[in-house]
Amino acid sequence: MTAKRTRLILLLGAALGASACAAQTAAPAPFDTKPVAKLSEPWAMTFLPDGRLLVTEKKGKLKLVTQDGRISDVSGAPAVDYGGQGGFGDVVLHPKFADNGWIYLSYAESGDGDKRGAAVARAKLSLDDKGGGALSELAVIWRQEPKISGRGHYGHRIAFAPDGHLFISSGERQHFDPAQDMKSNLGKIVRLNDDGSLPKDNPFADQGGVAAQVWSLGHRNPLGLAFDGAGKLWNVEMGPKGGDELNLVVRGDNYGYPVVSNGDHYDGKEIPDHSTRPEFHAPAVSWTPVISPSSFIIYTGKPFADWNGDGFIGGLSSKALVRVEFSGDSAKEAARYDMGERIREVEQGPDGNLWLLEDQMNGSGGRLLLLTPKAAAAK
C-alpha cells in the first residue's frame, strides 16, 4: 500500500468522524425552514433592492420571485447551451444597480462543432407594473478561452469586490492541464473592470492575452466566491475524488491543480498532496469525504447574530448547509446542517435571514427555502 493511500484511508476515517460530530451539532437545526416557491432546475439567485429575487433556471429562464412565492418571467435572457453541468448560471447586481440598472449573468454558450464554454454578460434590467421585467442592452463582457468539448466544470460564479472590480471563477472544464496554462483562462479566477475591460494592475498584465485577466490559477471547479469583512477573497471548489477546498484567494498565487490535490483522480490514479509541493497555495480547509460545494457566502446579518462573519457553503452530495468559522487566514468547519436535498445556492436576504435553492435532480428538489432562527438558536 502506498503512503498516499494509507494517508487517504486515515483521512477518510478522521473526516467521517468529523462528519458524525457535525451531524450531532446540527440535530435539531438552529433554524426553521419554510418552502417559499417551486422552480425548475434553479441555479442562482440575488435580491433586488425592493426585496424580490432574481432566480436563474438552468434551461435558460430568468425568474422574478417575491418573498411570498409569486413567480414572474423576465424576458430577454441569453440563449444557453443546456446539458450536463451547463446552462444558465449565476446572477448578480452591479454594486450601483439602483443608479445604473446593470445585472450580470453567467451561462454556458455554444461554440463551433461540439465545443462550448462559459460566458458572462451584462444587461439592463427594467421592471414593469405587472410584476415582470425585461433585459435590454445585453452584451457579453467575458468568455472562457478556448471553448472545448464536454459539459462540465464551468465554474462561472461572479462576485464584486469592495473596490468595484468584477471577479469570475472559471473551471478547468474537466481537462486538467488548462488550469496551469496561462494561454487559457480555464482553471483560473479572473479579475476585470465592471465593463469587462482589463485592470492595469492585474498580476499577469504584462503577459498580455488572456493571462492579463488572471488573478489566481490552479483551480479545478470553483463554485463559490465571497469577500470577508476585511476585503479578503475566499473561494470554494470541488476536488476530484476527495479534496474539496476552501481557499483564501491571494493575488497571483497558484493553487496547484492538477499537479497537487488532497484528493485523487476518479480512475484511482494518485495526485500528490499539497504538502509535497509547498510552492503551491494549500487550502484553508480540505474535505474528504467531499461535501460537493455549490455556493458560498460570508454572513453579515442580524437574525443569526452569533454567526456574523461565518461562511456558509451549499452542499450537493452532502445535502447540507455547511458553516465555517474563520480566524485570520485560517478556517474550520463549525457545523453541518442536514437539509435533506442537494443545496445549489445559499444567499443572505435583505433582512439577514438565509435563503437556499435546492438543486433539482430526478424529480426532487428545486424549492426556494427561507431559513429563520429558532427562538433558542445559538452558535
Is residue 103 in some structural domain?
Answer: no
In one-letter notation, the amino acid at residue 278 is P
Residue position matching grid coordinates 427561507 = 370
Q: How many domains is the chain partitioned into structurally?
A: 1
What is the domain range of residue 340?
1-38+293-379
Q: What are 285-304's pLDDT values in tens digits?
A: 999 999 999 999 999 999 99
Q: Which three three-digit cell numbers place residue 31?
A: 433554524
Alpha carbon 191 to chain centroid, angstroms: 16
pLDDT on residue 363: 85
Is residue 286 in some structural domain?
Answer: no
pLDDT on residue 129: 85
Q: What are 204-232's pLDDT values in tens digits?
A: 999 999 999 999 999 999 999 999 999 99
pLDDT on residue 180: 98
Give the list of residues 6+ apart from residue 331 with CB closer than 8 angstroms, or none. 234, 246, 284, 285, 311, 324, 325
Q: Please give the model's pTM, rounded to 2 decimal places.
A: 0.93
Is residue 361 in some structural domain?
Answer: yes
Question: In sequence order, what are the beta bridge partners of 235?
Answer: 225, 247
Is residue 86 in some structural domain?
Answer: no
Distances (CA, A) of 87 to 39, 176, 268, 315: 15, 21, 30, 19
- Nearest CA to 39 among 370, 368, 369? 368
pLDDT on residue 362: 86
Q: What is the pLDDT along the chain (379 residues), one digit of tens a residue?
A: 444 444 443 344 334 333 333 333 443 699 999 999 999 999 999 999 999 999 999 999 999 999 999 999 999 999 999 999 999 999 999 999 999 999 999 999 999 999 999 999 999 999 998 889 999 999 999 999 999 999 999 999 999 999 999 999 999 999 999 999 999 999 999 999 999 999 999 999 999 999 999 999 999 999 999 999 999 999 999 999 999 999 999 999 999 999 999 999 999 999 999 999 999 999 999 999 999 999 999 999 999 999 999 999 999 999 999 999 999 999 999 999 999 999 999 999 999 999 999 999 988 999 999 999 997 544 4
Is residue 282 in some structural domain?
Answer: no
Is residue 165 in some structural domain?
Answer: no
Q: What are 97-149's pLDDT values in tens digits?
A: 999 999 999 999 999 999 999 999 999 999 998 889 999 999 999 999 999 99
Is residue 355 in some structural domain?
Answer: yes
pLDDT on residue 10: 37
Active centre residues (catalytic): 153
Is residue 137 in some structural domain?
Answer: no
